[in-house]
Structure 1
Amino acid sequence: MEEQDLVDIEVTHDDPDNLVDSYSSGVADFPFHRQTVVANRLLAGQPDTELRSLAGVDTEQVKLLEHQVDAAHRALFDMDGKALLADEVGLGKTIEVGMILKEMHYRETDGSVLILTPAQLAKQWQGELREKFGLEFVCNYDDEFRGFNAHDRIIASIDTAKSERHRPTVLAREWDVLVMDEAHYVKNEETDRYDLIEQLTYDYAFFLTATPIQNELTDLYNIVTLLRPGLFGSRDTFHQYFIDSSQDTLVNQNELQRRLGQVMIRNRREDTDIDFTDRIIETRTFEPSIGEKDLYDAVTEYVRGAYSQDSGQKLVLMLLQKEVVSSPAALEGTIRKQLDEQHELTHRDELETILDKIDAIESVTKQDRLFDIVEEARNHVEMGRVIVFTQFRATQRQVLDGLDEQGYTTHAFHGGHSSQEKEEIVDQFREEGGVLVSTDAMNEGRNLQFCNIMVNYDLPWNPMKVEQRIGRIHRIGQKREVYVFNMGLKGTIEEYVLDRLYHKIDLFQQTVGELSTILTRMEDSGQSFEDEIFERLVNADSEVDLENDFDSMAIDLGQQQELSQKVKAFNNGVFESFDLGTDDD
C-alpha cells in the first residue's frame, strides 16, 4: 500500500458535534489527491463512465442483473476502484468482480491482477472468470503455475500467498489490482493474513464478504482500514466514537453508515428481483449386502489399526475410508497401488484379505438403487436429465458401465478433459439429455441450470464441496424446483455424516457463504472438518462411543450455526438503513 499520513483525532466526549466535524474533515481530505490519480487512470481515454465492456459478455453464459451492474459501476467510478462488495449471500458478488475486471481489461488498467481466495474456492473463481467473462487466470494449483512473479493474472489461496515460500515474491511486486474474496478472513489484525494484505502494494482493490462483521465491530474497522487506510481514523477513535463500551452497542450509526457509503456496496435479497426456486432434498440410505458390510468392517478395522501405528499415513487411510462407501472399484485401485509400491508393507496380509472381500461382492447396492432414481427421472422429467456426482474416477467408470448396460444416454465429465472437451460434454448433455456422471471437477464454476436433478452418489466430508455441487444447478437462472438425492449405506461413516452432522445443521438448505462462516469458526482450532470426522472414527472404542462422538460434533456445529446466525442478525442491524441508493439528486 501507499504510505499515507494517518490522522490522529483528539476525541472529547464533551463536544460530539466538534468530534464529527474534525473526524470528517481530517480523514476525508488526506486521500483526495490519490483518489484523483486513480480516477484519472480509470477514465483515461474514455469520454464517459459507461461500462463499455459489457457488450462483449456472453449473455448465454451469464445473466447480468441490475444490482450487479450497478455495483460494478459504483465500485469503479463512484469509489475510484477501491470498494467492499458486501452483498448478502447468493446475489453474485463474483459476477460483480467479473464485470469490474472485464471493464478494467477493456480500459487497459489491469496489467497485473492478484485474486486471493480461500483454498477451496480458487479453482471455482478461475472457472467462472474464464467461462463467463473470457478472462484467463492461472491458479496456484495449476501445473503451469511458476510463481507469483511469473504471471500477470493470478488466482491463489491466501494461505499459499502468505506462506514463507511465496510471501517475499508476492510483496516484492506492485500489483495493479487486488481482489480479496471472503474478506472476513483478514478481520484479525494479529494474523499473517492481515499482515500480508497490509503490506501489499496495489492501485485498485475489491474486497468481498457477505459478513463484514463476524464477532465485533472491530472486524469491520480492520477490513475497511486495509481497503481505505484512514477512513475511520485510528482504532481508538473508531471505538470511542462508534461503540458504547459500557453496553457494547453501536452508537452514532448514521455517521458510521455515511462513512461506509464511501467504500461499501451492500445489496439485500429483498431489494432485488431474484426469485430462487425451492430445493427439495431426499436422503436414501440402504442396507449393504452381507459382502459389502463385511468389506466395510474389514477396511475400518485396518484403518484404525494402521493409524494407531503410523499417523503419517493419515491421507491414504482417510482415502480408503471414503472409497469403501463409494465403490469396490475405487477401493480396489488404491489397495493394489499400495501393494505394488510397498513390497515390505507391514499390513500386506490385511490388504490382500480386503482384496479377496472385494472379489466376493457380486452386485453393488448403491448402483442398483441409482437405477431407480434415474428411471424416475426418465419417466417424469424433460429429457430425463440427471447429474450424478462421485469423488472417484473408478466409481465413475463403474457407474457409467452400469448405466450403459441399462440403455441410458450417458456422459462422463472429469478433470482429465481439456477445457474444450468439457464445453462439448456439457453441450451434449444439454442437447441429448440422459445422465451425466461427474467427478468434483464439475465444481469449477459450471452453470447447469438446464438440469434440476442431482444425485450425491458418495458424499464429501467437507460440506462446502456438497453445496458447491448443488450450486451447479440451484443458482440464479434456475426456473424449476431442484431435487437432490443423497445416497448412503446404513451402518457406515456415510450415514453418520449424513444423519448426525449434515442434517443437524440443515446443511442442504445452507449456501456457500453461510457454510463458510460456520466452518471457519469450527476450524479456527487448526483442524479441518474432514480431519475431525476421521479422528472421531478411528479413535472410537465402540459403536456407542462413535455415536456419542458424532453427537458431540453435531452440538458443536449447532453452536457455530447459532453464532453465525447472530452474526448475520448483527450485520443486518448495522446495515439496516444503509443507503444503497444511486438516486439522482
Structure 2
Amino acid sequence: MINRYSSRLTKLDEGFLNKKLKNARNYDRIAGYFCSSILEVAGENIEAVSGKVRIICNSNLEKEDVDIAVKAQQMKQEWCEYGPEEKYSSPAAQDRLSRLYRLLASGKLEVRVIPDEVYGLMHGKAGVITYNDGSKTSFLGSINETKSAFSLNYELVWEDNSDEAVKWVQEEFDYFWNNKYAVNLCDFVIKDIDRISKRRIVPLHDWREQNDEKIGEAAAETPVFRTEFGLWEHQKYFVERAFREHQKPGGARLLLADQVGLGKTVQLAMSAKLMALYGDKPILIIVPKTLVFQWQDEMMSLLDMPSAVWNGHGWQDETGYFYQSEGAKSILRCPRRVGIISQGLVARRTEAADYLKQQTYECIIVDECHRARRRNATKDPDRNRADANYLLRFLNEITFKTKSMLLATATPVQVNTIEAFDLLNILALPNEKVLGDRYSKWRCVPQTMLDMVCGEKDVPNQESAMWDIMRDPLPERSKDTVVINSIRDALDVPDDKYVLGPEVYSEARPSTREKIRSLYTAGDFVHNYNPYLRCIVRRTRDYLENTINPETGEPYLKKIEVKLYGEEDREALELRGYLRQAYELAQQFCEMISARVKGGGFLSTLILKRIGSTICAGESTAKKMLAWTEEGRKILEDEFDVDFEDDDLGEIDQNSEVKDLKPEEIDVLRDLVKVLSLNRDNDPKCNRVLDILTKGTGGRDTPWMKSGCILFSQYYDSAHFLAEYLSSQLSDVNIGLYAGGDKSGVFLNGQFEKKEKDDIKRAVKSHEIRILVGTDAASEGLNLQTLSTLINLDLPWNPTRLEQRKGRIQRIGQVSDTVRIYNMRYKDSVEDKVHKVLSGRLNGIYNMFGQIPDTLEDVWIDIATNNEEKAKERIDMIPKKNPFKLKYEERPGKTEDWASCEAVLDKQDVKQQLLKGWK
C-alpha cells in the first residue's frame, strides 16, 4: 500500500512518525547531516522501539584518512564547530539530549557517519520500520530527522509497505551502513552529549570564591579542547601546578624547560588565562620580537583569549585595532588584561621598559628566557659577580613587582650550568621558597652547589654543613613529598615558612634528627630535593613516548617515528657550473668584508646562506648589497634594468663600514648578480623538491605529495619562489604559502591569491591544500597533522628551529605512524660544513637538535669565514651532558578530565574580565 503525507495537511510528527513507530521492533534510517540529525532525533518518540534504532548520516570526514583516531578527531571538531552547547542550552533541549545520551549509551541507538565527499551530500532521506509481528514498511521524502522538519517545515513523505519497496530502501541503507568509509559515532561526541545535557553556567564571581577552583570550568569549552586536540597530560600537569601555586602566598615561581616541540606556549598561556581570571592585576608576557604576534594568535585561536601587543608605538589588540601612543608612558595603559612585549624593548633600554617597572602584576611570563644571561658565564661564579646583560638586570628588578613568574626555555644551560642559577635567581629574589634567603648556600656559592647537584663535587657529610644545605630553603609541603611533609610536621613548621635557623636541628627530637640525616645520606637530598629539581619542570619527547600512563595503560604520548633523508653525503646536492661560480664569488665577497670590517662576518655570511637557500634569494641579497653605493645603484639600473622608483630593493641592516663598499667588492657583487640573474629559473633545489614530491626519493618510497608535505625555508623570497615554481609545474594543484604578516596565500596554476592564515589552516585541515610552503612563521603554533612529510629547503641559523619545524607534523593526531623529513644542502657549502662539524662533535646532528644553545649561531659565521677551529672551540664550550636531563623528568601527576566538565564559566564574564585594561 502506498500512503502520501504532506505537512500542509497534517503534522508529520504525530500524523506519521509517532504513529508509525508504535509497536516497532527496529528502525533503520538514512538521515541527513550529522550534527542536526543526531541531536534532534532524540526529540521524537523512538524510545518505544523495542529493538535497535540505526541511523546513517553525512559528515565532513575525509575519506583519505584511514586512522580511526583521526576520524574521531575530525568528528569531534565537526561536532564542536556546530556549537551544541549554545544551541541546546534550554531545559527542554537538555532533556532531549539526556534521552539521546541514554539511547546511545545503552546501545539501543547506533549512529554511523559517512564522509560527504564519497557520495556527496546525503539528500536522499529514507527509512525502514520493522514491527514486532515481522511486518515492515518503508518511506522516503524530503524530511530530515529534526524537530522542525516534523513539526514546522513544509515536507513530503511517501510511504510504501510493498516487499519490493522495503527491499529497495533496506538495500540502500545496508550499503551505507556497511560501507568501508562509514565509522561509528566517536566516544567524545557521546560523552559530550551527556555533558551538555547536564551543563550549567558558573558566574566568574562564584568561581573565584570557591576554595578549590575547578580548572575544568575555565578550560572545558576553550577551542583547544573543543576544536583541537586538547592538552596532553604533561601540559595539564604544569598548568595545574602553576595555577595552584599561584593561589598560595608567594605565587608560582617556575621554570618550564620542556624539550622543543612539547607545547610550552599553550601551557604558559593557559596558566596565564587562569591567573587573569582569578585575580585583577595585569599579565605581562615578554617574548622575542619574532614571537609576539605568534603568541597573540595562538592565545586567541586556542584559548579564546584576547591580548594586546606593544609594537613600540602603541598597543595593538587581537582584532588588529591600534591604540595610538601618547608617549612611552602609554605602555601602562594596555587595553587588555594580557599585554605582550618584545624582549628587544627591554634589551634596548627603552623608556617604555622602565615604565613597566612601575606596574604590579598578577603574573609575568618570559619565553626564551635563556636570553637573560651573564656575559662572564665561564668565569668562576662563586668568586665573580654576574656581569648581567640588560634583560637579566631588568628581570631581576621587575620580579619584585609580580605575584607569580613563569620562565620558559628548552635550553636553561647555554654555556655553563651557572646560567640555570641566574634564571632561578630571578624567581628567588622576592621569594625564599625558591633558593632561600640571601645567606643561603644555594645563593652564596651557587656554582659549588650546582656541582654537587650535577654529581661533579662530593656532598659534605658534617651535620652542620648538611643542615645548612637543607634548612635554607626547606622544601615546601606537597602531595608528592611524603618525607618532607613528615619532617615539616615533626618540626612544626608552618606551610609558608621556608628558612629555619641553625638551632632547629640541634633542638629537634632524636627521631626527627635521624629522619633528617636519613634524607640527607648519600646525597639523596641534594640530588633529589634540591631547588633546581623543585622549580625546573622539564620533560622530553623520548621520555613521554616511552613512559606508561598508569591511568590509561598507554604512553603519555603516542610515538611517531621519524625517517630522516638528506643526511648522507651522497644525498647532498652538487655545487656545479654556474652555481659553483656564484658560490665562489660570494665566498670571495665574504672574505673581503671580514678582512676589513670587524664584526662584518654576520652580514657577509648572509649572502652565502641565501644562495644556499635558492638562487632567487641569493640574487635579491646581492642586489641589495650592491645598492648600498651610488655606483652599485647605477650598475643595477644600467646593466640589470632595475628601476629604483618602481622596484625598491630596500636595505639590509649594516654598519657604515660595511656599507662603504670598495671598488673590488663592487666588481665581485656585479659578477655575482650577473651569474645569479641569468640562472634564477634553473634552481637545483627546486628541481629536487619537485622530484621528491612527484616521484619520492627512490626505491619503495612513494611520492611525498600523496602524503601531504610542508616545505620550510627561513626566507620569504625563497618560500614564495618555490611555491610559484611548484604551481607552474603541478597543474590544478593548490600550493599554499604560509608566511608572516599578510603575505600568505594560495598558488593555483601559477596564479597567486592572498589568503588569511586561518583560511590556509582550514584548507590544510580539509585536504584542499596538500602542499604547503612556509617560512618559520609556520614552525610554531600551526597544527599540520594532515601532512606527514616535511622538506627543509635550507638549514636555519639556530638549529632548534629544525625541531620546531618537525613538531608541526610530529604531534598528536598525525595520520601516519611515521613521518618523513628531508634536509637539503649543497655539498661543500656553509650548510654542509656546519652540518659535518656539528654532527661530528655532538654525536649526531638530528638527535642533538632541540637541546643546543643559541650561541651556535656563531658557528655559521666562523665556518663561512674559514675559521673552523674557532667553530670547534665554541662547540667545545657547551657542557658535554645536560645536567638537567633525566633527573628533571618526572611522571606527570594525575589531572582531571577537563574536557568533560559539566559546570563551565559564564563566557560573558570571562570575556569582560579579559577585555579589561590595565589600571
Structures share fold, TM-score greater than 0.5 = yes
1:40-51 equivalent positions in 2, closer than 5 A:
44-46=208-210, 48-51=212-215
Q: Specify the SS of the correspondent of 1:411.
A: strand
2:367 corresponds in structure 1 to 181
Q: For 2:734, which of 405, 409, 416 is the aligned residue? A: 409
Paired residue secondary structure (1:568): coil
Q: Report what 1:114 is aligned to.
A: 284
1:500 is the counterpart of 2:837: yes
Matched with 2:564 is 281
Assess, with a 3 A threshold, how the Cα gap between structure 1 residues 440 and 72 changes in structure 2: closer, same or farther.
Answer: closer
1:544-583 correspondence to structure 2 within 5 Å: 548-549=868-869, 553-554=871-872, 556-557=874-875, 560=878, 562-564=880-882, 566-569=883-886, 571-572=887-888
- After TM superposition, give the deviation of residue 86 of structure 1 in Å: 4.3
Matches within 5 A, 1:71-470: 71-80=238-247, 81-84=251-254, 86=256, 88-89=258-259, 91-107=262-278, 109=279, 111-117=281-287, 122=292, 124-139=294-309, 148-151=331-334, 152=336, 153-158=338-343, 160-165=345-350, 166-181=352-367, 190=386, 191=388, 192-200=390-398, 201-208=401-408, 215=417, 222-226=425-429, 228-229=431-432, 232-239=435-442, 247-248=458-459, 258-259=475-476, 261=478, 264=535, 266=537, 269=544, 270=547, 272=549, 273-283=556-566, 284-311=571-598, 316-340=603-627, 342-345=629-632, 346=662, 347-361=665-679, 363-376=682-695, 379-380=702-703, 383-407=706-730, 408-417=733-742, 421-430=756-765, 431-470=767-806
User: Which stretch shows the higher mean deviation, 167-176 or 448-457?
Assistant: 167-176
Which residue number in structure 2 is paired with residue 33 of structure 1? Answer: none
Paired with 1:534 and 1:267, the residues of 2 have a C-alpha distance of: 31
Task: State the 1:560 CA deviation.
Answer: 1.7
**Structure 1 287/382 Cα, relative in aligned 2: closer, same or farther at 3 Å?**
closer
Q: Structure 1 residues 323, 219: closer, same or farther in 2, change over 3 A?
A: closer
Is 2:814 aligned against 1:478?
Answer: yes
Give the Cα separation in 1 of the matches to 2:207 and 2:877.
49
SS in 2 for 1:236: coil
CA gap 1:220/1:579 in 2 versus in 1, 3 angstroms = farther
Distance of 1:502 and 1:138 partners within structure 2: 42
Task: Name the structure 1 match of 2:179.
Answer: none
**Structure ranking higher in helix proportion:** 1
**TM-fit CA distance, 1:383:** 4.0
Shift of 1:173: 1.9
1:205/1:227 contact within 8 Å kept: no
* Contact 2:727–2:734 (CA under 8 A) maintained in structure 1: yes
Q: CA deviation at 1:48?
A: 4.7
Instruction: State the partner residue of 2:221.
Output: 56
Of 332-341 and 260-269, the range deviating more from structure 2: 260-269
**2: CA distance, partners of 1:143 / 1:415:** 20
Residues in 1 aligned to 2:676 and 2:412: alpha-carbon distance in whole angstroms: 50
Q: Which amino acid aligns with 1:333?
A: S
What is the CA–CA distance in structure 2 between the aligned matches of 1:198 and 1:555, rounded to whole Å?
A: 31
Distance 1:502 1:249, change over 3 A: farther
Question: Please, what is the CA RMSD of the aligned residues?
Answer: 4.0
Instruction: Quote the offset at 1:195 in angstroms.
Output: 3.6
**Whole-Å separation in 2 of the counterparts to 1:326 and 1:285:** 13
Maintained 8 Å contact 2:243/2:252: yes
CA 1:248–1:125 in 2, change beyond 3 Å: closer, same or farther? farther
For 1:225, the aligned partner's letter is A
Displacement of 1:291 after TM fit? Answer: 0.8
Provide, for residues 34-56 of structure 1, a one-character-per-residue CA deviation record: whole Å limited to 9, x for no partner.
Answer: xxxxxx99964457511222122
SS in 1 for 2:631: coil
Q: CA deviation at 1:229?
A: 3.4
Amino acid at match of 1:501: L
| Inter-partner Cα distance in structure 2 for 1:313 and 1:344 | 21
2:232 aligned to which of 65, 69, 72: 65
C-alpha separation between the residues in 2 aligned to 1:418 and 1:46?
47
Counterpart-to-counterpart distance in 2, 1:381 and 1:86: 36
State the TM-score, normalizing by the size of structure 2. 0.50
Equivalences for 1:21-40 in 2 at 5 Å? Answer: none
Q: Distance in 1 between matches of 2:345 and 2:880?
A: 31
> Is 1:185–1:193's contact at 8 Å kept on the other side of the alignment?
yes
Question: Structure 2: which amino acid aligns with 1:491?
Answer: D
Amino acid at match of 1:275: K
| CA distance in structure 2 between the partners assigned to 1:336 and 1:162 by the alignment | 31
Report the Cα offset of residue 96 of structure 1: 2.5
Length, aligned pairs only: 518
In 2, the alpha carbon distance for the partners of 1:392 and 1:186 equals 27
Q: 1: CA distance between counterparts of 2:686 and 2:583?
A: 16
Q: Using a 3 Å threshold, how does the CA distance of structure 1 residues 212 and 467 change in structure 2: closer, same or farther?
A: closer
For the structure 1 residues 144 and 467, does the alpha-carbon distance in structure 2 shift closer, same or farther, using more than 3 Å as the test? farther
C-alpha distance 354-260 of structure 1, shift in aligned 2 (>3 A): farther
**Change beyond 3 A, Cα 1:349–1:409:** same
Deviations 1:220-243 (A, max 9, x none): 862551362355532433459996
Q: Hey, what does 2:860 align to over in structure 1?
A: 533
Check conservation: 2:434, 2:535, Cα contact below 8 A. Answer: no
Of 391-400 and 321-330, deviating more is 391-400
Cα 1:300–1:95, aligned 2, differ >3 Å: closer, same or farther?
same
Letter of the structure 2 residue corresponding to residue 74 of structure 1: R
Deviation at 1:72, TM superposition (A): 2.2
How far apart are the structure 2 equivalents of 1:56 and 1:84? 27
Distance 1:504 1:373, change over 3 A: farther
Q: Give the partner amino acid of 2:689.
A: L
Identity across the alignment (%): 23
Aligned match of 1:491 in 819, 828, 831?
828
Q: Identify if the C-alpha distance between structure 1 residues 337 and 187 changes in structure 2 by more than 3 Å, giving closer, same or farther.
A: closer
Instruction: State the TM-score, normalizing by the size of structure 1.
Output: 0.76
Separation in 2, partners of 1:372, 1:204: 52
Q: Contact 2:611/2:617 (CA < 8 Å) preserved in 1?
A: yes
Segment of structure 1 superposing worse, 253-262 or 69-78: 253-262
CA-CA distance at 1:498 after TM superposition: 2.1
CA distance in 1, matches of 2:205, 2:562: 45
Structure 1: segments with no counterpart, 5+ residues? 1-39, 524-528, 541-545
Residue 297 of structure 1 and its aligned partner are, at CA, apart by 0.5
Per-residue CA deviation, residues 90-135 of structure 1 (Å, 9 max, x unaligned), is: 554433222222223444x354211234566555544432332132
